[in-house]
Amino acid sequence: MSSFDLLPLPIKKIIYDLGWQQLTKIQAAAIENIIKTDFNYILCSKTASGKTEAVFLPILSKLERKTKGIKVLYISPLIALINDQFERLDRLCEYLDIKVTKWHGEASISQKKKLIVNPEGLLLITPESLESIFVNKPHLLLKLFSDLEFIVVDEIHNFLNSKRGVQLRSLIFRLQEKIGRKIRFFGLSATLGEYDNVKNFTGDYANTKVLLDKSQKEVDVKFKYFYSNNFDIPIDLITDLYSEISNKKSLVFPNSRAKVEEISIKLKRISSSENGLQNYFAHHSSVSKELRLFAEKYAKENYNKFFSIICTNTLELGIDIGSVDLICQVNSTFSVSSLAQRFGRSGRREDLKSHLLLYATNEWMLLQAIACFELYKESTIEPLEHINYPIDLVLHQTLSILKETNGISKENLVKRLTNNFAFKSIDITDINVLVDYLISKDYIEKVETELILGLKSERFFSKGDFFAVFETEKSFRVYHKEKFIGELQEVTEFMIGENFYLSAQIWKIKEIDFRLKKVLVIPAQEGKEPVFYSSLSNIQELIRKKMLSILFSSNEYDYLDENSLNELQSLRNYFSLFKFQNLETERPVAFIENRCHFYTFTSSKINLTLQLLAAILDIKTNLIEYKSCVIFGNNIKELQNIFKNFINVIENINKFFNEFIEKNPNYLNYLGKWENLLPNELKKKVWLNNYLDIDGTKEFLKNVKIINS
């Protein structure tokens, strides 16, 4: 019997009516397995392979229709994705007379109210909105969810190694705890490199299986090289880019918001000098929502027109903008997963290839880009691990539980936290330290035998920002007349009368209101790119090791242009001076102008940890992260001996780190949103467990062998 035959008649009819010719591989596998078994499943297959239908067709087939109540909870990381999926699912469910409801910050309040009165069907929600139900409507939890049968998490890779993921796992645990049973669980993703962590997402490893379709879209790739000595975009690159995209539908991914603005303006300038179209849009988090939607709509609706959206990873996830001919990547992505997602945006119809054009502006970016692409071709994607030590989320969920229960004994509170599979890695001692600290600081009040939310904590709930566990920077809102254009972060960089780029247009500042954080602007002719805050880079070891192996191989890559080939060759020539025998353990050290350049070819976290070890021993270092190079001062002759001292420090890291923090207390000052509220004792553990890689560095130091040229 084929998978199709397993479906009930009304569902078969839907498939006929939609005019589908056949089920995709993942759909056939999912229908068969979901219908015939009771396991949880993770569905992993390329973009546009119909994962949504793959999971929902069998779910709708199995749905218990006799009782009331919400049956399926679908959770997505993006509002835009919920809105897209709502359209698709509502169309499917209309046939079956099943209600679908959207619940997020921008969804209709009246629809939410209707659902509360009459809970039924499918609910599409964000983790933050789910949190808000626990916090503000705990009395409705049972009414809404006591008949729940399925939970579906879309783009689940987003929730694997993030704070948001810990929050979601905690909420799923609390929901199951509340209704007193486990809910069948499904996760969807196009980019997973490792499956143990995702199988453990709801703590039910043994009953969670992976359905994997490893087939990749055919890709057509070209690398070009335009040198720049400081990461600026060379004008030749822009001219070449213009000639490549002016008669196509394209997405251009530089790696920063400032570069998005720079490239957008320059493309528009070239285009207008040639009387070309002005269909160049900037799309990133600081562009106003209205302008972003305008670009998305333009791309989706103007089927026959060319356009280019220059964007950050705002357009990386599954938002539907229709089909795109070409993806341009300016310098390397920071992960293989990101590259794979971007491939997925081009040639979305089954029969079309993905086209990618990559521009590198220095030899290290070129090497990193080759490494990412080669890993992608081998179907190797970096593993995403759960966060080691999410004690800040324990704090957040403690406040949430106190609000939900309106009073709970300490014993019960600690039990709920320690039972929660999201917090498995945290010792009960630390949870007790945290709860006692919160009581001592009046975040929690003790009333007889019960704990309740302290007055001091009420302020966290006075505005909406409790629900998101991630931080957002405060910025200035930019207006032209009454129209909101976008946001500027470093307003101090600018004075009244100065010009800057934003949302692919040039503006002159007329007025700055520092109290209301508002900037009034008028259009202008010349300007410069805006400045945005940036964060720590985080490259995984896998990519760095691949870069090293490419340097020492003689493989040829036919997608490189002549300049790229020459650059790769000169980098290979330079490193051929080092006589390697074992790429796993040996690392090159070069002495340049009396300084010692140690090429670690390892993860950003290990590089950061090495720098800390040096700082503890009062040794000055410089880290050039994009080269994975730690530079030691001129007094270093015997690096191998220094590493022995490093190992000594790392074996006693707690003691040394404590002493270091006593001398450098600022080190603990600027942590994440909820980490800032922790006692110092736990903040130190956050550093050691989450920001550094102690075990990885220990391994690295024990094995590493220095090779001189």
Partner DNA sequence: GACCTGCTGCGGACTG
Q: Which is nearer to DNA, 91 or 289 (CB)?
A: 289
Give burial (CB, 10 Å; 0-12/13-18/19+) of 706. Answer: middle
Compute the least distance from the CB of residue 247 to DNA, in Å. 27
Task: Tell me which residues in 341-370 interact with DNA (CB under 7 A).
Answer: 365, 368
Q: Which of 196, 385, 436, 465 binds DNA (CB under 7 A)?
A: 465
Rounded Cα distance between 166 and 185, Å, is 16
* Nearest approach, Cβ of residue 424 and DNA (Å): 22
Question: Taking contact as CB under 7 A, which single stretch among the options 103-111, 521-529, 582-590, 689-697 is the one that binds DNA?
Answer: 103-111
State the minimum distance, in angstroms, from the CB of residue 543 to DNA: 9
Q: Can you say how many angstroms the Cα of residue 29 is from the centroid of all Cα atoms in its chain?
A: 28
Among the listed residues 8, 10, 105, 407, the single contact to DNA using CB under 7 A: 105
Q: How far apart are CA 601 and CA 593, in angstroms?
A: 22
Asked if 128 touches DNA (CB under 7 A), the answer is: yes
Question: Does residue 476 interact with DNA by CB under 7 A?
Answer: no
* Helices vs. strands in the chain: H and E counts, helices first: 26, 26
Q: Does 45 bind DNA (CB under 7 A)?
A: no
Interacting residue with DNA among 46, 51, 164, 587 (CB under 7 A)? 164
Q: Distance between CA 70 and CA 68 in Å, rounded?
A: 7
CB of 470 to DNA, least distance (A): 4
- Interface residue with DNA among 464, 523, 633, 665 (CB under 7 A) is 464
Which residue lies nearer to DNA by CB, 622 or 641? Answer: 622
Judged by CB under 7 A, the stretch of 101-109, 147-155, 176-184, 206-214 that binds DNA is 101-109
Nearer to DNA, 53 or 382 (CB): 382
Listed in order, strand segments (DSSP E) in 368-504 are 408-409, 444-447, 450-453, 476-480, 483-488, 499-502
For position 288 contacting DNA by CB under 7 A, the verdict is no
Query: What is the closest distance, in whole angstroms, from the C-beta atom of residue 353 to DNA in the complex?
Result: 26
Q: Please state the closest distance from residue 615 (CB atom) to DNA, in A.
A: 19
Q: How far is the CB of 100 from DNA (least distance, A)?
A: 16
Q: Which two tokens stand for residue 96?
A: 């079956």
Q: Quick one: tokens of 210?
A: 């992976």
**Which residues inside 617-636 make contact with DNA, applying CB under 7 A?**
624-626
Which of 604, 621, 689, 690 touches DNA (CB under 7 A)? 604
CA dist 291 and 301 (Å) reads 15
| Cβ pair 600, 629 in contact under 8 A | yes
Among 77, 187, 318, 347, binds DNA (CB under 7 A): 77
Q: Is 184 in the site for DNA (CB under 7 A)?
A: no
The least CB distance from residue 128 to DNA, in Å, is 4
39 and 207 Cβ atoms separated by less than 8 Å: yes
In the complex with DNA, which residue's Cβ is closer, 365 or 444?
Answer: 365
User: Which of 62/143 has CB closer to DNA?
Assistant: 143
**Minimum distance from residue 124 beta carbon to DNA (Å):** 10
Residues 6+ apart with CB under 8 A from 669: none
Which of residues 86 and 657 has its CB atom nearest to DNA in the complex? 86
Q: How far apart are the two ends of the chain, measured CA to CA in Å?
A: 65
231 binds DNA (CB under 7 A): yes
- Residue 532 interacts with DNA (CB under 7 A): yes or no: yes
Binders of DNA among 266-285, rule CB under 7 A? 284-285
Contact track, DNA, 533-572, x by CB under 7 A: xxxxxxx---------------------------------
Collect contacts of 231-236 with beta carbons under 8 A, ≥24 apart: 231/331, 231/361, 231/362, 232/361, 233/259, 233/262, 233/263, 233/266, 233/330, 233/361, 234/361, 235/266
Strand partners, 150: 72, 184
- SS3 state at 125: strand
DSSP, residue by residue, 238-253: HHHHHHHHTTSEEEEE
Could you tell me which stretch among 122-130, 209-217, 405-413, 647-655 binds DNA (CB under 7 A)? 122-130
Determine, following the binding rule CB under 7 A, whether residue 467 of this chain makes contact with DNA: yes
Site for DNA in 233-272 (CB under 7 A): 255-258
Which residue from 33, 136, 216, 271 is in contact with DNA, where contact means CB under 7 A?
136
Residues 6+ apart with CB under 8 A from 54: 24, 26, 27, 29, 30, 31, 43
Nearest to 241 by CA among 255, 253, 232: 253
Tokens describing residue 673: 């949103």
Residues 199-238 as b/e (b if ≥16 CB within 10 A, e otherwise) read: bbbbbbeeebeebbbeeebebebbbbbbebeeeebeeebb
The side-by-side arrangement of strands in the sheet containing 476-480 is 483-488, 476-480, 518-523, 505-513, 499-502
337 touches DNA by CB under 7 A: no
Stretch that binds DNA, among 171-179, 208-216, 391-399, 530-538 (CB under 7 A): 530-538
* Ordered DSSP codes for 28-85: HHHHHHHHH---EEEEEE-TTS-HHHHHHHHHHHH---SS-EEEEEEE-S-HHHHHHH
Helix (H) or strand (E) holding 325: none
Q: Which is nearer to DNA, 118 or 534 (CB)?
A: 534
Among 85, 208, 314, 564, binds DNA (CB under 7 A): 314
Report the interface residues with DNA, using CB under 7 A. Answer: 77-80, 104-106, 126, 128-129, 132, 136-137, 162, 164, 230-231, 255-258, 284-286, 312-314, 331-332, 334-335, 338, 365, 368, 463-465, 467-468, 470-472, 532-539, 604, 624-626
